[in-house]
Amino acid sequence: MILDSRNSEALTRIIAEKGWENVASISFSKATLTGLVELARLTKLGGPEALEPAKNCLRNLPGAVNWFNNIRGLFDGNFAPTNSSGKIYSAPKAEVWLITSSTCIETDSFLLFLQRFERSLRNSGFKNRFPKLISQGLLEIADNIARHSSVSGLPINGVLGYHVEQEKMNYVAADLGRGVLASLQENSKWASLQDESEALIAAARDGATRIKAHDSGDGFRQIFQSFVDREGTLLMRSGRGLAEIRGNATSKIAETGYSKALEGLRVTAACDLRKKSEEILLCC
């Protein structure tokens, strides 16, 4: 069984219906970065008793456990940015980052994180302006989390991550904030929204924003320009709402659904230059 975002939804339902004590019997044979981010987010919400069952799910994947521990620490606000010059200017296949405020995405270290992502894309066959557009899409999501997800001034502790292989990429952004619907309802134009899935589509497709001075904002516009226009796939989760958007330069398909309620927002992007876009397996 693969731990990816779709199987994370199944895991969410198992936890809601049977509790964490029934999770320990599950064993994943493969994992993706998005799946590990979602597992870490579930354990953060589940409290201390969730940690050991979650790790037990990964008992056959020691490499995935290391990733999980790192990501789980990010949700707690624990972070040690890359500081050696050799790593700062490298092009890692995969990396995760912590978002705590709008000011943290304006730092040099975060800019270098985006540059490493872009460099990895170029090294993996993404050509011309495409790597820049993709990295700007990730910046857009980071900005959205930093500015719109906070609840009563509490720390955000949003997580960003990317994974790049030859001619394919994934990235993921997740937080434990108030979700898209509550944020958009601050703006009178979008106050009539009552459904999380509807709110996700409004944010992604229509540029819906909570900022009262604007009818629409950037939303996730850069994502469309970067890879949904090129047959990429965008998966979004907020509250109990799910949305999947895929398409090309001439058409878009948006499908919505529902799962068990979960705090915060998760955005997952996938693009494969050769075939249908899907999440990339980590080597574990």
Which residues of the chain fall below pLDDT 70? Answer: 84-85, 148, 150-154, 185-186, 188, 191, 205-227, 249, 284
Q: 76-126: per-residue pLDDT in tens?
A: 999 988 776 678 989 999 999 999 888 888 999 999 999 999 999 999 999
Rounded Cα gap, residues 187 and 209, in angstroms: 7
Q: Which residues of 62-81 are buried (b: 16+ CB within 10 A; e: fewer)?
A: eebbebbebbbbbbeeebee
Identify the pLDDT of residue 195: 83
Place of tokens 């990317």: 162
CA distance 63 to 68: 9
What pLDDT, on the 0 to 100 scale, is given for residue 37? Answer: 97
Contact indicator for 59, 27 with CB cutoff of 8 Å: yes
What pLDDT, on a 0 to 100 scale, did the predictor assign at position 51? Answer: 95
pLDDT tens digits, 122-160: 999 999 989 998 998 898 888 878 876 766 666 788 999
